[in-house]
Amino acid sequence: MQKTTIIFSHGGGRLANQLTNFAHFISFYEEYKNKFDIINIAFAPYAEYFESTKNQGLSLNEENPTPNKKFKVIQKLFLLKSRSSRILRKVLIKGTHLLYGILPGKQSIIVGDYPNHYSMLLGRKFTMFDINNPDMIKILSSHQETIIAGWPIRSWELFEKHKDIVRSKFKFVKEIDNRAESCINEIRTGFDMIVGVFIRQTDYKRWLNGKYYFSGNMYAKWMKEVENLFPDKKIVFLISSDQKQDLSLFTGLNVRFVTGNPFGDDPFIINFAELSKCDYILSPPSTYGAWCSFLNNIPLICVYNSNQSITNMDILENNIFEAFKHPFMSEAIN
């Protein structure tokens, strides 16, 4: 039986959002690989960071590498950072959606209401797309090839079912993993526990009218509360911040900073890998923090209100899957 090919073209957001998108497609593929092939061109900018995507490319079909060759040029295009290449990528995505909307045996699907990203994409519109729903599967099966774009393309049920396979697909390449491991091993000496702290401030001043923007003082307060939760542990905090922090705020705390320069051109993957190797992650609602906790299956400590005092109730042992259901963390993760 000939399988249907699904091409994910665009989903909005950077690394952690793209990991979220890809995780749901990987889970869908594991469940229905006898019926579908998946090619994720939206993940091209990050493919080189992970063993699976670096070696296999953008297709999930390990048995038939042909789609990899077909999309190699696209993958290289997505890695280019010039303004002209960005324009060309947009033209390519828009043009492909247009063609798939009119060519026989093909279809274009646009999911969600994101005018800045998808207003110019042509295709059949959906508010959300549950890829484990029989009606949605029927729609995907109705054409030989489907190109699909959007954010709410999900099946959390399948994601949790296939979580171990998803983790295996996102093992860092050796260079990144070794560098992160070296940092963590050095920090761990003399301490019982490493708590990674993700401080997000720049864009959070605007997102949801600053609902989850917290000052450095607040993070310092929460870090002291974490110490109180583990009075028999000597804790060191590994901080990753998107803004420079006043070190005096953390007086009395054992604090280190991630080794990647958070204000350089492209250091985030090192910071991301280092945080993922901590024992706990403290984070506001963010796919970045949730994925740091998911990759090595470590608990996620939620911070979501300036009046909040951290208790054991704020520790999500099942990390991203509990965050998905959390009344505040879910605002960033759904």
pLDDT value for 264: 47
C-alpha dihedral (223, 229, 230, 232), degrees to nearest 10:
120
User: Taking residues 97-105, what's their average pLDDT?
Assistant: 93
pLDDT value for 80: 66
pLDDT value for 58: 84
Residue type at 64?
Answer: N
Residue type at 326?
Answer: H
**C-alpha dist (Å) from residue 156 to 107, 152, 194, 278, 313:** 25, 11, 29, 25, 22
Q: What is the pLDDT of residues 70-87, one digit of tens each?
A: 566 666 666 666 677 677
pLDDT value for 59: 86
| pLDDT band at residue 190 under the 50/70/90 scheme | very high
Judging by DSSP bridges, how do beta strands 106-111 and 124-126 pair with one another? Answer: parallel
Which architecture characterizes domain 173-333 according to CATH?
A: 3-Layer(aba) Sandwich (3.40)
Query: Per-residue pLDDT for 50 more than 60?
Result: yes
Would you give the end-to-end CA distance of the chain in angstroms? 34
Q: Could you give the strand order of the β-sheet that contains 145-150, starting from the edge strand earlier in sequence?
A: 36-40, 4-10, 145-150, 106-111, 124-126
CA 111 to chain centre: 18
pLDDT value for 81: 64
- Count CA atoms within 13 Å of residue 223 on its CB side: 27
- Global pTM reads 0.93
Helix (H), strand (E) at residue 187: helix 174-188
pLDDT value for 119: 60
Q: What is the pLDDT of residues 225-284, one digit of tens each?
A: 999 999 999 999 999 998 989 999 999 999 999 986 654 444 689 999 999 999 999 999
Is the separation of the CB atoms in 8 and 38 below 8 Å? yes
Q: Which residue has the tokens 């995780």?
A: 23
Is the separation of the CB atoms in 147 and 100 below 8 Å? yes
Q: CA-based diameter of the chain, in Å? A: 67
Q: What is the pLDDT of residues 9-27, one digit of tens each?
A: 988 788 999 999 999 999 9
Is the separation of the CB atoms in 299 and 27 below 8 Å? no
Residue 326 has φ and ψ, to the nearest 5°, of -70, 140
Over the chain, what is the mean pLDDT? 90
Q: Which of 318, 319, 312, 314 lies closest to 290, judged by CA? A: 319
The structural domains of the chain, with segments of one domain joined by +, span 4-165, 173-333
**C-alpha dist (Å) from residue 159 to 23, 266, 287:** 7, 29, 15
C-alpha dihedral (206, 14, 226, 232), degrees to nearest 10:
-170
- Count CA atoms within 13 Å of residue 270 on its CB side: 16
pLDDT value for 104: 95
Residue 132 has φ and ψ, to the nearest 5°, of -110, 5
Q: What is the pLDDT of residues 193-230, one digit of tens each?
A: 999 999 999 999 999 999 999 999 999 999 999 999 99
Q: What is the DSSP string of 282-334?
A: EESS-HHHHHHHHHTT--EEE---TT----GGGEETTHHHHHHHSTTTHHHH-
| pLDDT band at residue 88 under the 50/70/90 scheme | confident
pLDDT value for 56: 81
pLDDT value for 121: 81
Q: What is the pLDDT of residues 154-165, one digit of tens each?
A: 999 999 999 999
SS3 of residue 218 by DSSP: helix
